[in-house]
Structure 1
């Protein structure tokens, strides 16, 4: 059986700069092109459920003309998943805490259906008060 997830990650890693230039031109504009460093697999454990999660692709990059860096986190999702935005927020929070760098979160949706716009944010709110609004970039290939 073909490991499509592994092949997809390999393809994305090989052509990462081209991916950013094509789908994230705003990020490409402030990215120092020769500064990309692919980080080792980032594993996270949800202590409440005991489940382990692995971030698909995390790249450290330098801001153009600066010494400061940031992370680009790309998550590939082949099937719709309930509460996916919450998972993206957890990755964001853990990466931010671990590295102390700004994180540019991106999701690449490749599932066939439903053919509708995917959510681009995770919100925590109470009546009359938004506590958190976390946004992530969405690239939808269905």
Structure 2
């Protein structure tokens, strides 16, 4: 329905932002929405995908998590190269012992 309103991009973002902030979808509702989007014609689908608001936020958070974990892994590798114990590396980096052991095997 919002796609058919033909609002300018700034107003679209404002309206979508309101709905995203105050009417968040649970997993089941999100699946239902994605299913409905799949049945839309191509033009409507493209228009919806231009307003990613919550997906931007989720992507940013996921990117931060991945970057943080990657940084911890790099530190762990350097600590392993220095001969530090796995227990100390787990304590400092908060990585799982299995991850440390996996990194040790790759050295």
TM-score per shorter chain, which class?
A: under 0.3
Higher percent of residues as helix: 2
Higher relative contact order (CA 8 A, sep 6+): 2
TM-score by length of 2: 0.25
TM-score by length of 1: 0.20
